Amino acid sequence: MRSVPIAALSLVLAFSAVYVSVDAKSVRPIKPARLGLCAACHGESGIAQLPEVPNLAGQRLDYLRKALKDYRDGSRKVAVMHAAVAPLSRADLDALARWYSGQDSASRNKVKPMDKSKP
């Protein structure tokens, strides 16, 4: 009878150890429902296709959260960004920041900027 609680406790401890040992970088964020408008300029994976648009892949989470909040409340004055994020909730902004910070920044070097000299 005593072996059942000990076995159960062992299982709980084993699963806890596995959960704790998971590296936070290895857990991919969930694709946000509001990604579409951002992806139009910054790319779904955070690699912009236009040279004047910044890449967001792999940026620090706290930086992206603050930047999005500042665009939304008007502290950072970029009209297109304000228009894009003004209607979004705090949870939406957090989901976007988590998504882009969790993307692979190594692929930044693989994307070549568009050549503006070609018609």
For 77, the enclosing helix (H) or strand (E) is: none
Per-residue pLDDT of the chain (119 residues; tens, 9 = 90+): 565 555 554 544 455 444 444 445 556 788 999 899 999 999 999 999 899 999 999 999 999 999 999 999 999 999 999 999 999 999 999 999 999 999 998 655 554 555 555 55
> For position 36, what pLDDT does the model report?
92
Q: Under DSSP, is residue 87 helix (H, G, I), strand (E, B) or coil?
A: coil
Output b/e per residue, 10-36; b: 16+ Cβ within 10 A.
eeeeeeeeeeeeeeeeeeeeeebebbe
Give pTM, 2 decimals.
0.68
Structure tokens belonging to residue 27: 């857990």
Structural contact between residues 88 and 59, judged by C-beta atoms closer than 8 angstroms: no
> For position 5, what pLDDT does the model report?
53
